[in-house]
């Protein structure tokens, strides 16, 4: 069923989290909850059908509980699908061993044309290139660890999306919930149907 199962958004204290929540609702997803990272207890956390790691301030290392959550979710006999957005993307890439670097200038609310670099079900039904909204000052270092692959890049070569080779894990540097981004609803629909 379209949007069936429980979706939890892990909120890294970001105002965009509620925009993600609302965009998820437009996809037909009904059972959605928001779990603030500040009150997350990994051992007591009830495993959902899928997780979204929200955008947020700071760097991945500032959120050790998120790394513990990924440990739990991805080591189950049936790993839970995870989508990381912006900080969530950086957190996923860091979890698998990638580095980060500080951009020369902060990108806030800027449109960016990105291109798909690999066939991936997250981008099903979307064109080879499309415009997204960026809000970040850090990016993931190339090359990625062997367990990850780049699935989209900006024209200047910044990693805009990555996927794990074997696990149901995706990260996107851009904000699908931004009014600037094309195909945001399609991308989230694809994720909840994976």
Catalytic residue numbers read: 86, 175, 177
Cβ atoms of 131 and 102 within 8 Å: the answer is: no
Cross-strand pairs, 11: 36
Tell me the torsion sign for CA atoms 84, 3, 114, 18: negative
**What is the spatial distance between Cα 141 and Cα 102, in angstroms, rounded to a whole number?**
10
DSSP-derived secondary structure letter, 181: -
Burial class of residue 41, CB neighbours in 10 A (0-12, 13-18, 19+)? exposed
Token pair for residue 176?
A: 């699908």
Angle between helices 64-74 and 87-95 (to 10 degrees): 60
Contact 153, 144 (CB under 8 A): no
For residue 96, what is the DSSP state? T
> What values do phi and psi take at 139, rounded to 5?
-145, 165
Peptide bond into 143 cis (omega under 30): yes
């Amino acid at each position: 069923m379209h949007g069936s199962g429980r979706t939890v958004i892990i909120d890294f204290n970001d105002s965009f989290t509620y925009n993600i929540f609302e965009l998820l609702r437009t996809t037909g997803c009904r059972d959605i909850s928001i779990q603030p990272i500040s009150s997350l207890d990994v051992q007591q956390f009830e495993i959902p059908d899928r997780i979204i790691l929200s955008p947020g301030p700071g760097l991945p290392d500032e959120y050790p509980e998120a790394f513990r959550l990924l440990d739990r979710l991805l080591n189950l006999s049936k790993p839970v699908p995870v989508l990381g957005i912006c900080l969530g993307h950086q957190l996923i890439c860091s979890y698998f061993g990638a580095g980060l670097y500080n951009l020369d200038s902060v990108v806030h609310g800027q449109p960016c044309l990105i291109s798909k670099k690999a066939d991936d079900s997250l981008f099903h039904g979307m064109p080879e290139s499309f415009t997204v909204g960026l809000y970040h000052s850090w990016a993931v270092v190339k090359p990625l660890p062997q367990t990850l692959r780049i699935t989209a890049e900006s024209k200047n070569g910044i990693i805009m999306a990555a996927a794990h080779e074997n696990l149901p894990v995706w990260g996107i540097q851009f904000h699908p919930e931004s009014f600037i981004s094309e195909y945001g609803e399609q991308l989230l629909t694809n994720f909840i149907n994976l």
